[in-house]
Structure 1
Amino acid sequence: MLAQAIKRRLSKEENQKGFTLIELLAVIVILGIIAVIAIPMIGNIITKSKADSDLATARQVYDAARLFVTAENNGNFISQDIVIKDADTSTKDLTQNGYLESTIYLPSNKKEITGGIVKFNDKGVLVSVAFYNSDNPTGSTALTYDGAKVLKQE
C-alpha cells in the first residue's frame, strides 16, 4: 500500500513540467526588489567615479604645474598663477611648453579644457586648480578644485 502511494506520487511529479504562476510571481517580485535597491547604488557609483576622474585630472595638471615651476622658474613659486592653456601665444603655459598635451579633456563630460589656472601661494602651496571649457569661453570658471582636495588625490 505504501509502495503504491509512493509510485502514484512519483508519477505525478514526473508528469509536471515548468513552474507555477506563484513561483514565477515570487521570482519577479524578488528581482524587482533587487533592481529597486541596485539601480540608485549604481547611479551613485557612476557619479562618484566621474567626479573622481575630474579630480585626478586636476592632480595631473597640478603635477605638471609643479614641474613647470621647478624647471622654468628654478623652483620659485612666489605667489604665482600658472596658466594651463591660453590662446595668447606670448604667455608661457603648460601646453605650449610641453608639460601637458595640447588637447586635454575632462573625463566626466568629454569636453575639451580650453584654459585654466593653477594658483600657488607665496610659500609654494597649491591654492586651487580651475578649468575652463567650451561651455564657458568667456573665462567664467567651469570647474574649480580646492588645493587641499587636489593634494589628497593619489
Structure 2
Amino acid sequence: MLRNLDPLLSPEMLYTLRAMGHGDEIVIADANFPGSSFGPDCIRADGSSASELLSAVLSVMPMDTFVPDPALTMQVVGDPAAIPEAVADFQGIIDAEADNPAQIQGLDRFTFYQRAATAFAIIQTGERRLYGNIILKKGVIA
C-alpha cells in the first residue's frame, strides 16, 4: 500500500498510467466490453465499477487540455442523443474531480471501438450498467 493513492489503482494500473505519455488514451470499460480482443493490454478490475475506476484514475492522471474532446463515451445505438446513467455519472465525476474538467463527447459504437483498439490500454471493470465505457486522453502536468 502507498499513501494518498486510491487502493483501486493496482500495481499494473499505476505502471500503465505512469508509462503513458501526453496524448495517449486509456479506456475504462464495462463488463460487456470486448476488451481482451482489441489489441491493447487489458487490465482486469472486475470488482470495481467504471465510475470508481474513473475517479481513481483522475486522482493521478491529468486530462489533455490541448484537444476539445479528452473524454469520449459510446453513444446509445439508435438514440445518439440519449445520456445513459453511467455517462451522466462520468460527467459528474469529471466535473468534480478532474484537474481540467471537460464536457464528454460521444462517438458511435464502431468509431468508439476503433478508437479503443488504438488506446494505450484498457481497464475492464465489473460495471454492469450499459454504455459504461469511457476513453480518456492523458494531458501534462504543468
TM-score by length of 1: 0.27
Query: Considering only CA atoms, is the larger Rg found in Structure 1 or Structure 2?
Result: 1
Higher relative contact order by CA 8 Å / sep ≥ 6: 1 or 2?
Answer: 2
Q: Judging by fraction of residues, say which structure has more helix.
A: 1
